């Protein structure tokens, strides 16, 4: 399994025969890998990643989000049902967000959330058998960056793979662009990015740059970001 | 003893992520036969089709001309049963995986092209799969010779058309559909030659994914 | 399936961008996205791409009896399919309001503007005419479906060739394609549509809106016009009021755009005809291969014809067949003749749900089981009290109202099993039972908890 780290794997590939290794080994498998009897088999096509000490997963460029507990997602409110908001997070089921799950929310002091608003929330409950649940506070009751996103700004839809790439790489298209342009960004693990810049032109430029950087290598991303920054500053 | 007349597969071409609205899409070409497949999944499902313990697989096959009829429904059922075998449907209960196929050009071996396009689209969509699947069509002509990946004319002139779908792990048969008359010897020869051909198709799948992700760090 | 909802911030931003005359792809307000027209292997097959919007059109022909009110004219039938692959909110089979709108717009544009000479489609007046059917499939929806479909439909109609026909007296001969060259349709003019999206109560307008722009627009106007500046269709929808000078302005812009697109269609048609004549390859596969070899696109992969090593296949197949044959022969030899040998006691069960399903063999379930197989004329038939009949399958439609009924929870006793076998053997394998659904003839065969579905 160690030889395949960083390499492309496809469904059906068998990575490790657990019987071969003697003694106890503890291997944590993430998305894209599954234990199939005495093997660890691949279920998605992508690149095998590894984190110390023994966590393995497959990075797949998929578009559809499958809820996982603890993910920060950006949802769009679709309905108000009594005390609960129904929020679309791009999964097969809409998630529920209680009005009490906001910082400083009480029964009298309800959050000012309307249908169509964007909200940055964390998944509290997310498994395949239940409806997903969101919260906008952490376990201490503080918002820590979560909550309603202001109406200025733009919501960009992209693939899950791209979002993970942005969050994983220290130097990515956002850092390159951030050296020249001021912006505010909220990245949701469900493939949604909320972006806010001073002008419309900058927002459009950055969102186009982000979308195009998905299958590019680092050098190409650097060259493209430079071009974008030059063209923006050239006109200013 | 029958022998193989044509053991050449026509040139393959594929394009992934060609559609922007669906979760996964692929165009697959076998010679001149072209099929476009789009996949959505896992998405919400109607209550009537909901399964409590697994995802419902829904296949929609659209012919180029006319309104879909019985033949199209039969094709849909074949593809659905093939896909249900390879998809890990138990991981997504109460959801649906919707596969839409559009015939773009048909010059023979349409069913195998559909299944290959399906597999590419499922890979592109990133739905959990046990293994990959590919399909090969063979024809037995009037003299009893086997033809791999036949054209429409060869299919019409032959006395039997057999399509097999294989999985990538064990190279076992997932689906068989035949029409026409053939002997057991001819059947076994078709099956074995299709199995040899499927190895080439799996290689093609792997190469196309390697190419797609070649620049990602 | 639901498409992702439009958020307030997205709507606000797109409107603000349009107010500044900025579009996401950097286009001008009156500029089209790049249009790509490809022709398929079959005649009359055309694939058009405007940006990311993709549409496939196929033309086919059939001989039918003409309408009584128009005995000299052929029929042009348009069918637009909004496939679920184009957008998750499109449903297969059911046509939504938007589908009807696109369908009607295309019909008015092509059929009502008489772009095809219908009288030339007549074979025999009042008896036989050609029906030209245009199937338009929308493959990907990124806005401006009507324009894309109109280009695909008219390009496919211009590309199509119908079989040649000779009429001698009462005899009509339709020549197959290898006998006589196919004949093109007589296209009078090429009508195309141009869509305008209106914003800010008609103050701003855009040509060729993308899906994002369509979602936030106030309304739209579709102008159908040909190269000679003849208006063929005008369609306004949405919640806005259109002023007279705006209509004139739009028609002028549309005329300019249509001129360019008509030239593009003619150009691509000529190239395709030249390729077919000179024997070069044509069709979608060739176009895809060209693109791959020309540009290094990571998402496209191409491999030439491959040969498969099948030298050992014949020998291996023979070995398998022989081995299998020997095994079957051994089983036949070992089987007792004259007796029905049941390897494992059990029941053959038909599927109990009304949709059908697999026939299964269930291993022996003993104790008070009853069989419903019963001949109504057989006075010695035992009392059968089946516990629960969950479904009934009608096997034969003979005049005798006899139907084989089995149930999912059917269980047999040893006694009834042997009697059933005897019954079957005597009657050569046909079992009769109670009739389904209809009249209940007497109380025979009905026991506790028996249900008829």
Alpha-carbon distance of C236 to C240, in angstroms, equals 9
Alpha-carbon distance of C236 to C242, in angstroms, equals 8
For residue B54, the tally of other CB atoms under 10 A from its CB is 16
Give chain B positions within 8 Å (CB) of A62.
23-24, 125-127
Token pair for A11: 């469904």
Check CB contact under 8 Å for A11 and B125.
no
The residue-averaged pLDDT of C280-288 equals 71
> pTM of the prediction?
0.82
pLDDT on residue C351: 56
Give chain B positions within 8 Å (CB) of A160.
126
Domains A2-59 and A72-149 share a fold: yes
Q: Are A32 and A42 in contact (CB under 8 A)?
A: yes
pLDDT on residue A220: 85
Label residue C141 by pLDDT band (50, 70, 90).
very high
Q: Which of residues 295 through 354 in chain C touch B, CB cutoff 8 A?
A: 298-310, 313-314, 316-318, 320-321, 324-325
Alpha-carbon distance of C46 to C152, in angstroms, equals 6
pLDDT over threshold 50, residue B60: yes
Beta strand ranges found along chain B (DSSP E): 4-6, 8-9, 12-16, 24-30, 33-43, 56-62, 96-105, 133-140, 146-148, 160-167, 173-180
Check CB contact under 8 Å for B88 and A34.
yes
Domain spans in chain A, listed from the N-terminal domain onward: 2-59, 72-149, 154-235
pLDDT > 90: percent of chain C: 44
Label residue A136 by pLDDT band (50, 70, 90).
very high
Q: How far is B206 from chain A (nearest CA, A)?
A: 7
Alpha-carbon distance of B6 to B29, in angstroms, equals 19
Interface test with C, best of B3, B4, B5, B13 (most C CBs within 10 A): B13
pLDDT on residue B166: 95
pLDDT on residue C439: 47
Check CB contact under 8 Å for A218 and B206.
no
pLDDT over threshold 70, residue B79: yes
- Nearest alpha carbon to residue A192 among A73, A91, A95, A86: A73
Q: Are C213 and C14 in contact (CB under 8 A)?
A: yes
The residue-averaged pLDDT of C34-58 equals 92
Helix (H) or strand (E) holding C223, with range, is: strand C219-225
Give whole-number Cα distances, C109 to A182, C198, C206, C214, C264, in Å. Answer: 49, 21, 21, 21, 19
Q: Which of residues 138 through 167 in chain A touch B, CB cutoff 8 A?
A: 160, 165
Check CB contact under 8 Å for C306 and B3.
no
The residues, any chain, with a CB within 8 Å of residue B79's CB and separated by 6 or more, are B59, B61, B99, B101, B114, B115, B118
pLDDT over threshold 50, residue C451: no
Q: What is the mean pLDDT of chain A?
A: 87
Q: How far is A94 from chain B (nearest CA, A)?
A: 9
pLDDT over threshold 70, residue C290: no
pLDDT over threshold 80, residue C368: no
pLDDT on residue C291: 56
Give chain C positions within 8 Å (CB) of B21.
3, 85-88, 140-142
pLDDT over threshold 80, residue C292: no
Q: How far is A141 from chain B (nearest CA, A)?
A: 32
pLDDT over threshold 90, residue B162: yes
pLDDT on residue C348: 66
Maximum C-alpha span of chain B? 55
Q: How far is B204 from chain C (nearest CA, A)?
A: 8
pLDDT on residue C429: 40
The residue-averaged pLDDT of A56-74 equals 91
The residue-averaged pLDDT of C64-89 equals 91
Give chain C positions within 8 Å (CB) of A217.
none
DSSP codes, C256-286: HHHHHHHHHHHHHHHHHHHHHHTT---SHHH
The residues, any chain, with a CB within 8 Å of residue B33's CB and separated by 6 or more, are B105, B106, B107, B108, B109, B110, B113
- Report the neighbours of A using a cutoff of 3 or more CB pairs below 8 angstroms: B, C
pLDDT on residue C450: 40
Higher-scoring residue by pLDDT: C67, C296: C67
Q: Are A32 and A25 in contact (CB under 8 A)?
A: no
Three-point CA angle C198, C203, C204, nearest 5° = 55
DSSP codes, A8-43: EE-TT-EEEETTTS-S----EE-TTEEEETTEEEE-
Residue of C nearest to A118 (CA): C7
pLDDT over threshold 90, residue C207: yes
* Domain A154-235 sits in CATH 3.30.1370.10: yes
pLDDT over threshold 70, residue C64: yes
pLDDT over threshold 80, residue A196: yes
The residue-averaged pLDDT of C407-412 equals 46
- Nearest alpha carbon to residue C350 among C308, C395, C317, C316: C395
Task: Among C3, C85, C298, select the one facing B100 at the smallest CB separation.
Answer: C85
Token pair for A184: 């505010």
Supply φ then ψ for residue A48, to 5 degrees.
-80, 130
- Check if C124 contacts B (Cβ < 8 Å): no
pLDDT > 90: percent of chain B: 69
Label residue C343 by pLDDT band (50, 70, 90).
low
Report the sign of the C-alpha dihedral through residues B3, B8, B10, B14, in that order: positive
Label residue C401 by pLDDT band (50, 70, 90).
very low
Task: Among C4, C16, C24, select the one facing A157 at the smallest CB separation.
Answer: C4
Q: pLDDT tens digit string along A31-47?
A: 889 888 778 889 999 99
Residue of B nearest to A58 (CA): B126
Q: How far is C246 from chain A (nearest CA, A)?
A: 27
Q: What is the mean pLDDT of chain B?
A: 90
Interface test with A, best of C13, C19, C142 (most A CBs within 10 A): C13
Residue of B nearest to A63 (CA): B23
Label residue C100 by pLDDT band (50, 70, 90).
very high
Q: Are C158 and C190 in contact (CB under 8 A)?
A: yes
Check CB contact under 8 Å for C24 and A204.
yes
pLDDT over threshold 60, residue A59: yes
pLDDT over threshold 50, residue C441: no
User: Which value does ipTM take for this structure?
Assistant: 0.91
Q: Are A180 and A201 in contact (CB under 8 A)?
A: no
Of the segments A168-172, C309-313, C392-396, C444-448, which one has the largest average pLDDT value? A168-172
The residue-averaged pLDDT of C225-246 equals 90
Give chain B positions within 8 Å (CB) of C86.
19, 21
- Check if B47 contacts A (Cβ < 8 Å): no
DSSP codes, C178-218: TTS--EE--B----EEEEEEEETTTTEEEES--HHHHHH-S
Alpha-carbon distance of C406 to C391, in angstroms, equals 8
Token pair for C417: 């099993």
Check CB contact under 8 Å for A153 and C9.
yes
Q: Are A205 and A183 in contact (CB under 8 A)?
A: no
Supply φ then ψ for residue C157, to 5 degrees.
-65, -35
Supply φ then ψ for residue C76, to 5 degrees.
-110, 120
For residue B195, the tally of other CB atoms under 10 A from its CB is 18
Which strands form A46-51's sheet, in the order they lie side by side? A8-9, A46-51, A55-59, A28-29
Burial environment of residue C284 by CB neighbours within 10 A (0 to 12, 13 to 18, 19 or more): buried
Token pair for A62: 């998929």
* C70 half-sphere exposure, CB direction, 13 A CA radius: 13
In this structure, of B69-73, C155-159, C375-379, the range with the lowest mean pLDDT score is: C375-379
| A72-149 CATH | 2.40.50.140
Check CB contact under 8 Å for B65 and C86.
no
- Report the neighbours of C using a cutoff of 3 or more CB pairs below 8 angstroms: A, B
Number of residues assigned to chain A: 236
Supply φ then ψ for residue C340, to 5 degrees.
-80, 110
Give whole-number Cα distances, B50 to B22, C76, C328, in Å. Answer: 21, 41, 43
- Report the neighbours of B using a cutoff of 3 or more CB pairs below 8 angstroms: A, C
- Nearest alpha carbon to residue B3 among C336, C318, C130: C318
Alpha-carbon distance of B141 to C320, in angstroms, equals 22
Q: Which of residues 131 through 190 in chain B touch A, CB cutoff 8 A?
A: 131-132, 167-169
φ/ψ bin of C414: left (φ > 0), alpha (ψ from -120 to 50), beta (otherwise): alpha
DSSP codes, chain A: -GGGTTSEE-TT-EEEETTTS-S----EE-TTEEEETTEEEE-S-EEEEEETTTEEEEE---SS----TT-EEEEEEEEEETTEEEEE-SSSS-EEEETTSSTT--SSS-----TT-EEEEEEEE--TTS--EEESS-TTS--TT-EEEPSSSEEEE--HHHHHHHHH-SSSHHHHHHTTS-EEEEEETTTEEEEEESSHHHHHHHHHHHHHTTT--HHHHHHHHHHHHHHHHHH-
The residue-averaged pLDDT of B77-87 equals 94
How far the first Cα of chain B sits from its last, in Å, is 53
The residues, any chain, with a CB within 8 Å of residue B99's CB and separated by 6 or more, are B37, B38, B39, B57, B58, B59, B60, B79, B80, B83, B118, B121, B122
Burial C416-441 (b: 16+ CB within 10 A, else e): bbebbeebeeeeeeebbbbbbeeeee
- Nearest alpha carbon to residue C410 among C365, C345, C374, C356: C365
The 3-class SS string of C31-48 reads CCCCEEEEECCCCCEEEE
pLDDT > 70: percent of chain C: 71
Q: pLDDT tens digit string along A154-170?
A: 999 998 888 988 888 77
Q: Are C190 and C209 in contact (CB under 8 A)?
A: no
pLDDT on residue C86: 92
pLDDT over threshold 60, residue C379: no
Give chain A positions within 8 Å (CB) of C299.
215
Q: How far is C310 from chain B (nearest CA, A)?
A: 6
Check CB contact under 8 Å for B32 and C300.
no
The residue-averaged pLDDT of B178-183 equals 92
pLDDT on residue A22: 62
pLDDT on residue A18: 60
Question: What is the CA A13 to chain-centroid distance, rounded?
Answer: 26
Q: pLDDT tens digit string along C164-204?
A: 998 888 888 888 888 888 889 999 999 999 999 999 888 88
The residues, any chain, with a CB within 8 Å of residue C338's CB and separated by 6 or more, are none
Q: How far is A90 from chain C (nearest CA, A)?
A: 7
- Check if C44 contacts B (Cβ < 8 Å): no
The residue-averaged pLDDT of A172-199 equals 90
| A2-59 CATH | 2.40.50.100
What is the 8-class DSSP label of residue B147?
E
Label residue C289 by pLDDT band (50, 70, 90).
low
Kindly calculate the radius of gyration of chain B based on its CA atoms and give it in whole angstroms: 17
Q: Are A98 and A83 in contact (CB under 8 A)?
A: yes
pLDDT on residue A60: 87
Check CB contact under 8 Å for B64 and C284.
no
Check CB contact under 8 Å for B40 and A64.
yes
Token pair for C305: 């014809």
Can you tell me whether residue C346 is helix, strand or coil? strand
Task: Among C60, C285, C306, select the one facing B29 at the smallest CB separation.
Answer: C285
Alpha-carbon distance of C53 to C55, in angstroms, equals 7
Task: Among B45, B128, B215, select the one facing A216 at the smallest CB separation.
Answer: B215
Q: How far is A194 from chain B (nearest CA, A)?
A: 20
pLDDT on residue C350: 60
């Amino acid at each position: 399994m160690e030889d395949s780290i960083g390499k492309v794997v496809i469904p059906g590939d068998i990575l490790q025969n657990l019987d071969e290794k003697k003694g106890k080994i503890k291997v944590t498998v993430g998305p894209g890998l599954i234990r199939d009897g005495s093997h660890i088999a691949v279920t998605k096509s992508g690149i095998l990643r590894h984190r110390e000490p023994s966590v393995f997963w497959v990075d797949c460029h998929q578009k559809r989000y499958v809820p996982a507990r603890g993910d920060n997602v950006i949802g769009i409110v679709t309905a108000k049902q009594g005390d609960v908001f129904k929020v679309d997070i791009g999964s097969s089921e809409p998630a529920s967000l209680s009005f009490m799950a906001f910082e400083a929310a009480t029964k009298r002091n309800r959050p000012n959330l309307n249908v169509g608003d964007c909200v940055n929330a964390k998944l509290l409950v997310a498994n395949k058998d239940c409806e997903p649940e969101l919260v906008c506070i952490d376990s201490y009751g503080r918002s820590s960056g979560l909550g309603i996103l202001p109406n200025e700004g733009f919501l960009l839809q992209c693939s899950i793979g791209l979002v993970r790439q942005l969050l994983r790489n220290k130097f990515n298209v956002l850092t390159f662009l951030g050296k020249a342009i001021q912006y505010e960004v909220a990245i949701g693990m469900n493939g949604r990015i909320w972006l806010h810049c001073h002008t419309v032109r900058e927002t459009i430029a950055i969102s186009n740059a982000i979308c195009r950087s998905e299958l590019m290598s680092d050098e190409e991303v650097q060259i493209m970001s430079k071009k974008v920054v030059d063209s923006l500053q050239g006109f200013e | 003893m029958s022998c193989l007349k044509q053991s050449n597969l026509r040139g393959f071409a594929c394009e992934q992520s060609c559609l922007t609205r669906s979760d996964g899409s692929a165009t697959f070409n076998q010679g001149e036969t072209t099929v476009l497949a789009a996949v959505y999944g896992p998405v919400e499902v109607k209550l009537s089709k909901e399964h409590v313990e697994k995802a419902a697989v829904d296949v929609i096959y659209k012919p180029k001309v006319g309104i879909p009829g019985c033949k199209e429904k039969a094709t849909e059922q074949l593809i659905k049963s093939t896909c249900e075998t390879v998809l890990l449907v138990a991981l997504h209960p109460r959801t649906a995986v919707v596969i839409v196929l559009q015939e773009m050009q048909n010059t023979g071996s349409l069913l195998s092209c559909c299944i290959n396009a399906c597999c590419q689209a499922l890979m592109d969509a990133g739905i959990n799969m046990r293994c990959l699947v590919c399909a090969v069509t063979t024809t037995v002509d009037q003299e009893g010779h086997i033809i791999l990946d036949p054209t429409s004319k060869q299919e019409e002139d032959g006395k039997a058309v057999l399509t097999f779908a294989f999985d990538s792990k064990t190279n076992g048969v997932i689906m068989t559909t035949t029409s026409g008359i053939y002997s057991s010897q001819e059947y076994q020869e078709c099956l074995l030659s299709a199995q040899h051909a499927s190895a080439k198709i799996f290689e093609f799948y792997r190469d196309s994914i390697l190419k797609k992700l070649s620049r990602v760090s | 399936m639901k498409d992702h909802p439009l958020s307030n911030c997205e709507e606000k931003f797109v409107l603000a961008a349009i107010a500044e005359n900025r579009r996401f792809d950097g286009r001008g307000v009156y500029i089209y996205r790049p249009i790509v027209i490809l022709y398929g292997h079959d005649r009359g097959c055309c694939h058009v791409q405007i940006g990311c919007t993709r549409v496939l059109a196929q033309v086919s022909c059939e001989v039918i009896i003409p309408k009584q009110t128009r005995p000299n004219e052929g029929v042009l039938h348009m069918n637009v399919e909004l496939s679920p692959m184009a957008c998750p909110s499109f449903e297969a089979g059911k046509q939504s309001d938007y589908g009807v709108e696109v369908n009607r717009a295309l019909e008015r544009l092509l059929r009502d503007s008489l772009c095809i000479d219908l009288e030339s489609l007549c074979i025999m007046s009042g008896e036989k005419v050609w029906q030209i059917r245009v199937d338009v499939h929308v493959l990907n929806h990124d806005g401006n479906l009507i324009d894309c479909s109109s280009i695909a439909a008219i390009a496919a109609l211009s590309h199509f060739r119908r079989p040649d026909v000779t009429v001698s007296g009462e005899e009509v001969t339709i020549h197959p394609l290898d006998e006589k060259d196919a004949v093109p349709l007589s296209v009078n003019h090429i009508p195309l549509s141009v869509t305008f999206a209106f914003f800010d109560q008609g103050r701003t307008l855009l040509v060729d809106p993308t899906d994002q722009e369509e979602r936030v627009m106030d309304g739209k106007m579709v102008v159908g016009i040909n190269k000679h500046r003849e208006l063929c269709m005008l369609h306004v929808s949405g919640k806005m009021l259109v002023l007279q000078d705006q209509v004139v302005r739009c028609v002028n812009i549309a005329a300019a755009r249509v001129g360019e697109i008509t030239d593009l269609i003619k150009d691509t048609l000529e190239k395709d005809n030249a390729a077919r004549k000179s024997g070069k390859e044509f069709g979608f596969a060739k176009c895809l291969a060209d693109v791959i070899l020309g540009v290094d696109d990571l998402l496209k992969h191409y491999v030439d014809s491959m040969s498969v090593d099948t030298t050992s296949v014949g020998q291996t197949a023979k070995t398998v067949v022989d081995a299998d044959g020997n095994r079957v022969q051994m089983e036949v030899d070992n089987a007792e003749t004259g007796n029905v040998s049941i390897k494992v006691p059990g029941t053959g069960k038909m599927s109990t749900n009304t949709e059908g399903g697999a026939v299964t063999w269930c291993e022996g379930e003993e104790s008070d089981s009853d069989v419903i197989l019963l001949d109504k004329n057989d006075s010695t038939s035992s009392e059968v009290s089946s516990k629960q009949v969950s479904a009934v399958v009608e096997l034969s439609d003979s005049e005798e109202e006899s139907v084989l009924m089995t149930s999912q929870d059917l269980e047999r006793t040893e006694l009834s099993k042997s009697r059933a076998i005897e019954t079957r053997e005597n009657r050569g394998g046909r079992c009769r039972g109670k009739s389904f659904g209809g009249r209940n003839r007497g109380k025979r065969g009905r026991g506790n908890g028996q249900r008829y579905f």
